[in-house]
């Protein structure tokens, strides 16, 4: 196979089980704030004290600085979003609305730093418990990650859902940006922890994309933080699952595959950047305050179904000169 070595049927069955478990765990965390606090505060404290010092220590495939930083940054995102959603008055503070894009940008920068670190290693073998092959693909994907940060937009338009769950809704985070992030992040995992990527790449990323497209639209950021936190807690507790268990799947370790995945990530993110700049210039928008995709069907569908924008109030939609653009964004 191009991306992975041949795997038995039960690894594919496990892939679907992992996907379903992550989607289900995300829905469990949405039940109410107390369930979420138990999952994202009480459980991690217990794991930090009693489990991870043994399972994610030196020599483990999850015992690197990146894994420890990633699990706590994901948990910080979950708890910060809970505060925005449920602490009275928090959502009225525009500085609080800076937290979602800030924690997202920090998470992307962590991966960019790791891609660059692997590139500079000139690795071709086992590093930190996983096989790594350094190359120009690391630099290409680091560039894609930086572009992905630049195209984060519309955080002042974050709102809460009208139902009792009070989900954090981000209407300006429409499908082109989500797909660009997903492809970039898959490339990162494939580059830097390749033998984990069968699950930590595709299954994990799809698990947060399914909810925002098919369950509660506009919740991608919330679902991403929650599914990532669940996955990191699991893999730091049971690192053998993705490395040496019967269900583990190794990459092909093919330079052409590494190059192709990162080139695709860079191309898609450049395309989103071009469209991002086009929207800003065409509608004379301030990307630090205004929503870039207001007026497009993909945005308006989510905005209309939920509460008012917390940082902006309700603003008139800009005229869209291109019906083709609107049609594409509605997909």
| Local structure of 262: helix, strand or coil | helix
* Dihedral of alpha carbons 193, 110, 233, 58, sign: positive
* Dihedral of alpha carbons 164, 168, 170, 175, sign: negative
| Rounded distance between C-alpha atoms, residue 300 and residue 314, angstroms | 11
The per-residue pLDDT for 311 is 80
Whether 1 is covered by a domain: the verdict is: no
Domain that includes residue 215, residue range: 9-329
* Dihedral of alpha carbons 170, 176, 179, 183, sign: negative
Helix and strand numbers (H, E) in the chain are 15, 4
How much is the pTM? Answer: 0.91
Work out the number of other CB atoms within 10 angstroms of the CB of residue 132.
Answer: 21
- Strand-pair category, 159-160 with 168-169: antiparallel
Extract the tokens encoding 329.
């964004």
The tens digit of pLDDT for each residue in 286-324 reads 998 899 999 999 999 999 999 898 886 554 455 543 433
- In the chain, the DSSP E strands lie at 124-127, 130-133, 159-160, 168-169
The per-residue pLDDT for 94 is 79
The tens digit of pLDDT for each residue in 45-57 reads 999 999 999 999 8
Whether 3 is covered by a domain: the verdict is: no
pLDDT under 70: residue ranges of the chain: 312-331
| Rounded distance between C-alpha atoms, residue 195 and residue 249, angstroms | 6
| Rounded distance between C-alpha atoms, residue 156 and residue 198, angstroms | 35
The β-bridge partners of 131 are 126
The β-bridge partners of 4 are 251
Whether 272 is covered by a domain: the verdict is: yes
| Rounded distance between C-alpha atoms, residue 21 and residue 46, angstroms | 21
The per-residue pLDDT for 322 is 40
The tally of domains found in the chain comes to 1
Whether 192 is covered by a domain: the verdict is: yes
């Amino acid at each position: 196979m191009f991306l992975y070595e041949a795997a038995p049927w039960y690894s594919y069955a496990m892939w679907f089980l992992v996907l379903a478990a992550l989607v289900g765990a995300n829905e469990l965390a949405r039940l109410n704030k107390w369930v979420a606090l138990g999952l994202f505060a009480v459980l991690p404290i217990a794991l930090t004290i009693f489990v991870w010092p043994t399972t994610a220590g030196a020599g483990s495939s999850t015992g690197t600085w990146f894994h420890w930083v990633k699990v706590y940054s994901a948990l910080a995102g979950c708890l910060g979003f809970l505060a925005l959603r449920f602490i009275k008055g928090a959502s009225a503070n525009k500085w609080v609305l800076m937290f979602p894009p800030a924690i997202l940008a920090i998470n992307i920068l962590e991966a960019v730093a790791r891609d660059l670190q692997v590139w500079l290693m000139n690795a071709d073998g086992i590093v930190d418990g996983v096989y790594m092959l350094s190359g120009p693909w690391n630099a290409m994907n680091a560039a894609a990650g930086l572009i992905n940060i630049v195209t984060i937009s519309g955080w002042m338009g974050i709102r809460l859902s009208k139902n009792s769950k009070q989900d954090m809704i981000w209407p300006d985070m429409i499908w082109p940006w989500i797909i660009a992030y997903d492809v970039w992040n898959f490339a990162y995992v494939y580059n830097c922890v390749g033998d984990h990527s069968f699950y930590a790449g595709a299954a994990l990323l799809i698990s947060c994309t399914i909810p925002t497209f098919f369950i509660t639209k506009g919740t991608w950021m919330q679902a991403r933080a929650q599914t990532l936190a669940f996955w990191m807690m699991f893999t730091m507790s049971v690192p053998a699952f993705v490395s040496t268990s019967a269900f583990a799947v190794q990459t092909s370790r093919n330079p052409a595959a590494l190059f192709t995945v990162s080139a695709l990530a860079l191309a898609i993110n450049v395309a989103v950047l071009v469209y991002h700049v086009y929207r800003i210039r065409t509608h004379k928008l301030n990307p630090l305050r205004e929503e870039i995709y207001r007026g497009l069907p993909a945005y308006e569908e989510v905005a209309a179904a939920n509460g008012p924008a917390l940082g902006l109030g309700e603003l008139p939609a800009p005229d869209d000169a291109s019906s083709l653009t609107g049609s594409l964004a509605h997909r």
